[in-house]
Amino acid sequence: MKIRTLALATAAGVALATALPVAASAQDAIYVPLFTYRTGAFAGSGIPIANGMSDYLNMLNERDGGIGGVKLLIEECETGYDTKKGVECYEQVKGKNPVITSPYSTGITLQLIPKAAVDKIPMLSMAYGLSASADGNIFPWIFNPPATYWDGASVFIKHVADKEGGLDKLKGKKIGLIHLDAPFGKEPITLLEKLAKDYGFELKLYPVAAAEMQNQSALWLGVRRDRPDWIYLQGWGAMNPTAVKEAAKVNFPMEKLVGVWWAGGDDDARAGADQAKGYKSLSFHAAGAEFPVIKDIQKFVVEKGKSQVDKAKVGENLYNRGVYNSMLIAEAIRNAQKITGKKAVTGEDVRRGMESLEISEARLKELGMEGFAAPVKISCSDHNGHHKVYVASWDGQKWTKGSDWMEPMKDKVRPLLEEAAKDYADKNAGWPKRTEACDKAS
Amino acid sequence: MFYRETGQYKTTYAADMAVFPILQDRIALGLMLLAVAVGVPLFAMLFPATGNYFLQVIMIPFLIFALAAIGLNILTGYTGLMSLGSGAFMGVGAFACYKLTTIFPDVPIVIWVVVSGVFSCLVGVLFGLPSLRIKGFYLAVATLAAQFFLQWCFVRIPWLFNYNASGAIEVPERTLFGLAVTGANATPLARYFVVLAVVAGMTWVASNLIHGRIGRSWMAVRDMDIAAQLMGIQLLPAKLLAFAVSSFYCGVAGAMMVFFWYATGAEPEVFSIRQSFFVLSMIIIGGLGSLVGSFFGAALIYIMPIVLGAIANWSGAPISAATIEHLRVMLTGALIIFFLIVEPHGLARLWQIAKQKLRIWPFPY
Amino acid sequence: MDILYKIFIDPFMQMGAAPDLLVQALWEGLVGGVLYALIALGFVLIFKASGVFNFAQGIMMVFAALTLVGLYEWMARHGVPAPAAIALVLTIGVMYVLAVSIEKFVLRPLVNQPDIILFMATFGLTFVLVGLGELIFGGEPKQMITEQLWLPKGSIDMKILGGLVSLQKIDIAAAVIASAMVAGLAVFFQSTRIGRALRAVADDHQAALSVGISLNQIWVIVWFTAGIVALATGIMWGARSDVSFALEIIALKALPVLILGGFTSIPGAIVGGLIIGVGEKLGEFYWGPLLGGGIESWLAYFIALAFLLFRPQGLFGEKIIERI
């Protein structure tokens, strides 16, 4: 009977703790919450990104004492890539005046898009989420620089054209799209279908259900049967290394397998060992640790033991993506401080900061990111910028630059995108008209 | 001491068979309803920051999951049919509600939430058909087929999500009495009231179903279906009715989850097999074949991890978010096992024991 | 008519037109089936001996593989000689410790409880193992150490049937290991003292107890055996992609196999695995495109369901006799 009493007490304790109010803290620092996932089925991709994101911001705190003299209060909230926990995280951080959120999950992004405008918290979904949210006239609070999935797919087609000898050579070619059978995976279909019509190539779809991520042999048999000339891989998590391995198994030429930027983890390619040599992935920033900014992170954060990262993994592709993500956040905050003249900026200020963000070549150099990324410019109507992307190529050990920076087909992407944004606003009756004024770029 | 039934005489058969025969129970129930219907909203209005967090993160999902758990409990707990497809049936409800409200935007959303249960109910009956022949864990395969097939449909049939570029349900704003109840502008309080009303109403209906002839026939089928058949209970209608009612409840819960909890949008992945396991674990922990157990189970499985995380956060221990998460997952698992060992019949049984103790207190027997 | 043609004629035309692909698809199906069967085998062992539907089998597989790779990496970094062999031995040790603790802390207190309660307990166990595994090894995916474990790599390419049929050596190894394990288990069950005790427990717990068989000991043994099966499965699946917690999802695929074969039959697990494996690969490959592909996720369940409608206890399951 004792143990029963104990159980009752536990139950009562849990009930009591539930009723306790949740501490909401107010502070002078700038509060930057980071939604991360270091657990769950997608942790493999989530961990390096989470490390990169928090390490860069911590480095700013250590090296510069924050941004503009104001310390950053960085807090990770673990989502496990689960929308349920996403709700929890959002509600948890909402009360603490976050200046920006970055959900790092398409599902959570879709759910938070309408909330951003209501709660006055801008959201950065860096090159993921809803492509249509690039339209700043309809989504004033959502930012998804530097490129959308549609830009990515168009760059892939450009890359194919380059290798095949021109866009006119695409006629009659077969291009396969291997995608996760979920909203994230299906994003590029719309654009690729349009391009297929315009350039006369044939598009073959190979969906992979989330439960079958590691079980792709039937799909690759299909690849053997259909013999596509090129394959675009819109995958995430364990789906990518499996795809790379299976491609090697069916002797698909690796240099004709191109992944979206999220299929560019070092672990994804490493799984294929030597056979993965030549595997390609789109990217909008460099991999490697030889940049001054990464050196600073090593000096101020990693060496001092203030990071969770495995030292050898600093500078990996997805780690650097986290750094890039945080750089955008930091620059937006800095810009907001400049525009408003305030030190402790709010979400509304950062929205303005984001909207008039311009990171030039010179600024990148100041940041220690020369050659790390392409310049970024965001405007009120264009919350994405459709910036240049390059194709990274796996040399068996690390990611190297496999092509020049390429401009996406903005003329094809933008009209589709505006149409999709309008469609979104139409379907969501009562979608608010943009009332936020537009700042000139400073 | 206060919980004593001495002097409460039952003079009619109806009084003797009442669900809450003891006066104190009825008072407690009344107080509880008062607390959730008045106390919680009042608290939320007085302390908006904490209150909204409490409503949005704890109360609303708790009620919705409890409803789903009641649904599954009707099938698994009362009729003894194992189901691993409740996640998908919730999805059917959510997608049906989305279609209905976008085709007929003027009808109040609450009506569509309830009607969407009918669609889920039809699908449930369809996948319940094999239950006459297949039993036990084997039946789980039929419901798993439903789970994976329906999930595939949610992704693959663009008509279901209105050809949205996002491929997800985008919840439009709907109002009730001029107050937004879905969409980003809906306050947690407004949504809470709707959810509370639906859950309270449906729990009442479920309670009446279960205590009536239908519920008894379900329990007879659960305890031994051949014996039930010999007693004149027709198995197929009884089992199919259980599937229908169960799916109906799950469907309504799914629609409410997307429209009143997420309130803005949800991708099909929400209704994955994990959701099914989540609800199943609620009813097992809470108590199979117990309505109040469904609520306890929802509280334990859904709220406990949040509380554990919150405790870790308050304690201010210098551990990373990831480590907290790992510990919280481990502790959740350990507590599930602990509660099972303490009382394999679920928290509902524990509750009964506690009541019994109170009744005879301060004497041990 | 067109639809009928596409369903009933076209796939077979394709099979005839490209026999090499058909052979390849059959081979992939068989390999997939063997791997499913391995997972299912772990389930069957435990269900047979203790009546527990072990939901944690998937995570045990991940946990075993992670332990192996984690230990290997740690030892390789610290210059321990022959790290792979030591890691393998240590991992088996860890699985034994796991079996003992599960028996002590989960099964023993829950003895004689309904099936569904024990099922739920393994659910809790899953959480514990997920948390523990992530706490110790982190969530990063790891490479399976195939070469260090003397598993072959590369493929055998055969130019037959007017095309190419390519058999991965690791898949062959998987098939061989799976057969060896099944054969070993069969011998173990048939002709050892413990095996006989195990079968006695499976038949009737109380009767077994009354003739002096220690239930606790038997449970430790089956859970340990299931742990070793999980380790083998983890190595094989890990070699196909990488070792991460996502592998847990694949274990769900063992459910239709299990149900098709019957919960209590080891040959059932193997035959069920092969039927599901071949069925879903052929289905996805030849009929999948009609529905836009990706039907593999539910096809297996429908195959199992179709079989079940004729044999409600699974292909090899014990006949269900109902009495009043």
Residue of A nearest to C284 (CA): A218
**Contact call for A118 and B148, based on CB within 8 A:** no
Cβ atoms of residues C189 and C199 within 8 Å: yes
State residue A23's pLDDT score: 38
**DSSP result, B120-181:** HHHHHHHHHGGGGT--HHHHHHHHHHHHHHHHHHHHH-GGGGTT-TT-SEEPPP-EETTEE-
Mean pLDDT of chain C: 85
User: What number of H helices and E strands is found in chain B?
Assistant: 17, 4
Asked if residue B150 is part of any domain, the answer here is: yes
| Residue pointed to by tokens 């097999």 | B273
**Nearest residue on chain B to C308, judged by CA atoms?**
B134
> C242 to chain A: which residues are within 8 Å by CB?
44, 238, 241-242, 267, 271
For chain B, positions 17-36, list CB contacts with chain A under 8 A: none
Question: Sign of the C-alpha dihedral, residues A102, A104, A108, A110?
Answer: positive
| A65 interfaces chain B, CB cutoff of 8 Å | no
Residue A176 — pLDDT band, cuts 50, 70, 90? Answer: very high
C215 touching A (Cβ < 8 Å): no
List the single residue in B with minimal CA-CA distance to A426.
Answer: B172
Question: Among residues C118, A87, A192, which one has the least CA distance to residue B341?
Answer: C118
- Whether B197 shows a pLDDT value over 50: the answer reads yes
Average pLDDT, chain B: 88
Q: What backbone phi and psi angles, to 5 degrees, belong to A39?
A: -130, 170
Q: Is A41 on the interface with C (CB under 8 A)?
A: yes
Alpha-carbon gap, residue B95 to B268, rounded angstroms: 9
Which residue carries 């109380």 as its tokens?
Answer: C206
Helix C115-137 and helix B273-286: axis angle, to 10°?
120
What is the 3 state secondary structure string of chain C?
A: CHHHHHHHHHHHHHHHHCHHHHHHHHHHHHHHHHHHHHHHHHHHHHHHHHCCCCCCHHHHHHHHHHHHHHHHHHHHHCCCCCHHHHHHHHHHHHHHHHHHHHHHHHHHHHCCCCHHHHHHHHHHHHHHHHHHHHHHHCCCCECCCCCCCCCCCCEEEEEECCEEEEEEHHHHHHHHHHHHHHHHHHHHHHHCHHHHHHHHHHHCHHHHHHCCCCHHHHHHHHHHHHHHHHHHHHHHHHHHCCECCCHHHHHHHHHHHHHHHCCCCHHHHHHHHHHHHHHHHHHHHHHHHHHCCCCHHHHHHHHHHHHHHHCCCCCCCCCCCCCC
Q: Judge whether residue B186 has pLDDT over 90.
A: no
pLDDT at B105 over 80: yes
Nearest to A129 by CA among A141, A144, A140, A151: A144
Two structure tokens written together for A259: 């992944």
Smallest Cβ distance to A211: which of C28, C240, C297? C297
Angle between helices B321-342 and B347-360 (to 10 degrees): 60
Q: CB of A79 within 8 A of CB of A85? A: yes
User: Does the structure show a pLDDT above 60 at A242?
Assistant: yes
pLDDT tens digits for C142-186? 888 877 777 777 777 777 766 778 788 888 888 888 888 888 888
Asked whether residue A19 carries a pLDDT value surpassing 60, the answer given is: no
Higher confidence at residue C249 or residue B157? B157
Chain A (84-143) residues lying within 8 Å, Cβ to Cβ, of chain B = 84, 87-88, 91-92, 94-95, 106-107, 110-115, 117-119, 130-132
CB contact (8 A) between residue B321 and residue A88: no
For A218, the closest of C141, C155, C284 (CB atoms) is C284
Task: Identify the CA nearest to C111 among candidates C201, C172, C21, C188.
Answer: C201
Selected residue of B319, B340, B343 to mutate for chain C interface (largest C Cβ count, 10 A)? B340
- The domain total for chain B is 1
Q: Are A294 and A303 in contact, with CB atoms under 8 Å apart? A: no
Contact, C267 vs C40, CB < 8 A? no
A55/A63 Cα distance (integer angstroms): 12
pLDDT tens digits, A323-371: 999 999 999 999 999 999 888 899 999 999 999 899 999 999 999 998 8
Bridge partners of residue C167, in order along the sequence: C156
Q: Is B3 domain-assigned?
A: no
Q: Is A375 helix (H, G, I), strand (E, B) or coil?
A: coil
Per-residue model confidence as pLDDT tens digits over A410-429: 898 999 889 999 988 888 77
Contacts of C134 in chain B (CB under 8 A): 322, 325-326, 329
Which of A333-337, A433-437, C1-5, C178-182 shows the lowest mean pLDDT across its residues?
A: C1-5
The answer to whether position B81 is within a domain reads: yes
Q: Which segment, A24-28, A297-301, B248-252, C298-302, is predicted with the most confidence on average?
A: B248-252
Compute the nearest-CA separation of C141 from chain A (Å): 5
Q: Confirm if A265 and A45 have CB atoms less than 8 A apart.
A: yes
Instruction: Give the nearest partner residue to B267 out of A23, A92, A110, using CB atoms.
Output: A110
Instruction: Report the residue of A428, A431, A433 to disrupt the B interface, i.e. the one with the largest count of B CBs within 10 Å.
Output: A428
- Does the residue B136 lie in any domain? yes
Report how far residue B362's alpha carbon sits from residue C6's, in angstroms, rounded to the nearest whole number. 77
Are B190 and B55 in contact, with CB atoms under 8 Å apart?
A: no
User: What integer pLDDT is reported at residue A393 of this predicted model?
Assistant: 92
> What are the chain B neighbours of A429 within 8 Å (beta carbons)?
105, 172-173
| Residues facing residue A233 across a β-bridge | A178, A259
Best of C241, C243, C281 to substitute, by most chain A Cβ atoms within 10 angstroms, is C241
C168 in contact with A, Cβ within 8 Å:
yes
Question: Does the pLDDT at position A32 exceed 90?
Answer: yes
Q: In which element (H, E) is residue B281 found?
A: helix B273-286
Distance from B53 to chain A by nearest Cα, in Å?
A: 6
A179-215 pLDDT per residue, tens: 998 888 888 998 999 999 999 999 999 999 888 888 8
Residue with tokens 């073959």: A204
**Peptide bond connecting B362 to the previous residue in cis, omega within 30 degrees of 0:** yes
Residue B161 lies in a domain: yes
Q: Is B220 inside any structural domain?
A: yes
Nearest residue, CB atoms, C134 vs list B326, B341, B344: B326
Distance of alpha carbon C127 from alpha carbon A197, whole angstroms? 49
Give A 170-189 residues with CB within 8 A of chain B: 181-183, 186-187
Does residue B339 belong to the interface with chain A, where contact is any CB pair within 8 Å?
yes
Q: What local confidence, expressed as pLDDT, does residue A440 receive?
A: 64
**Partner-chain residue, chosen from A211, A217, A271, that has the shortest CB–CB distance to C249:** A211
- Of the candidates B152, B166, B322, the beta carbon closest to that of A209 is on B152
CB contact under 8 A, A3 and B164: no
B301 falls within a domain: no
The SS3 of residue B6 is coil
Tokens of B194: 């709707």
CB-based contact, B166 to chain A, within 8 Å: yes
> What SS3 state is found at B361?
coil
Is A211's CB within 8 Å of B273's CB? yes
Can you give the pTM of this predicted structure?
Answer: 0.91
* Distance (Å, whole) CA A277 – CA A255: 8
Closest CB to A224 among C21, C245, C280: C21
Task: Walk me through the domains of chain A, giving residue ranges and CATH numbers.
Answer: 30-147+288-386+418-427 (3.40.50.2300), 149-283 (3.40.50.2300)
* Residues B203, C90: Cα–Cα separation, whole Å: 53
Span A33-55, pLDDT tens digits: 999 988 887 888 888 999 999 99
Q: Please check whether residue B152 touches A, CB under 8 A.
A: yes
Task: Report the C-alpha gap between A51 and A39 in whole angstroms.
Answer: 13
Largest separation between any pair of C-alpha atoms in chain A? 81
Kindly state the greatest CA–CA separation across chain B.
Answer: 67
How far, in Å, CA of B116 to CA of B100, rounded? Answer: 8
Both structure tokens of C109: 């207190």
**What Cα–Cα distance (Å) separates residue B201 from each residue in A239, B204, C39, C266?**
44, 5, 44, 49
Chain C residues inside the 8 Å CB shell of B141: 255-256, 259, 301, 304-305, 308
- Give the contacts of C106 (CB within 8 A, at least 6 positions apart): B337, B341, C121, C122, C124, C125
Q: How confident is the model at residue C60 (pLDDT cuts 50, 70, 90)?
A: very high
CA distance A274 to A442: 48
What values do phi and psi take at A36, rounded to 5? -130, 165
Chain C nearest C-alpha distance from B171 (Å) = 27
CA distance A211 to chain B (A): 9
Query: How many CB atoms lie under 10 A from the CB of residue A111?
Result: 28
Q: Is B350 a domain residue? A: no
The answer, for A273 touching chain B at a CB cutoff of 8 Å, is no
Q: How far apart are CA B293 and CA B305, in angstroms?
A: 18
Which is more confidently placed, C320 or C11? C11
B269 CB within 8 Å of a chain A CB: yes
Instruction: Decide if pLDDT at A442 tops 60.
Output: no
Kindly list the residues from chain C whose CB atom is less than 8 angstroms away from the CB atom of residue A226. none
- Cβ of C128 and B337 within 8 Å? yes
Q: How far is A396 from chain B (nearest CA, A)?
A: 31
3-state percent helix, strand, coil for chain B, nearest multiple of 5: 75, 0, 25
Query: Rounded distance, CA B301 to CA B317, Å?
Result: 24
Residue B201: domain span: 26-271
pLDDT band at residue A1 using 50, 70 and 90 as cut-offs? very low
Q: ipTM of the predicted structure?
A: 0.87
The stretches of A21-180 forming alpha helices (DSSP H) are: 43-64, 83-94, 106-119, 149-164
Give the DSSP H/E element, type plus range, for residue A351. helix A347-355
Nearest to B307 among A17, A23, A106 (CB): A17
Cβ atoms of residues A195 and A411 within 8 Å:
no
B136 contact residues in C (CB cutoff 8 A): 115
Residue C90 sits at the chain A interface (C-beta within 8 Å)? no
Average of per-residue pLDDT across B88-102: 94
Q: How confident is the model at residue C54, as a pLDDT?
A: 87
Q: Are C25 and A271 a contacting pair at CB < 8 A?
A: no
Question: Is C131 in Cβ contact with B327 (below 8 Å)?
Answer: yes
| Residue A357 Cα, gap to closest chain C Cα (Å) | 34
Tell me how far apart the alpha carbons of residues B208 and B175 are, in angstroms, rounded to a whole number: 31
Using CA atoms, how far apart are residues C255 and C228, in angstroms rounded to an integer?
19
pLDDT bracket for residue A3 (50, 70, 90):
low
The DSSP bridge pattern shows strands A174-180 and A202-208 to be parallel
What's the burial of B140, exposed, middle or buried (CB within 10 Å: 0-12/13-18/19+)? buried
Chains contacting A with at least 3 CB pairs below 8 Å? Answer: B, C
Side-chain-facing half-sphere of A86: CA atoms under 13 Å: 24
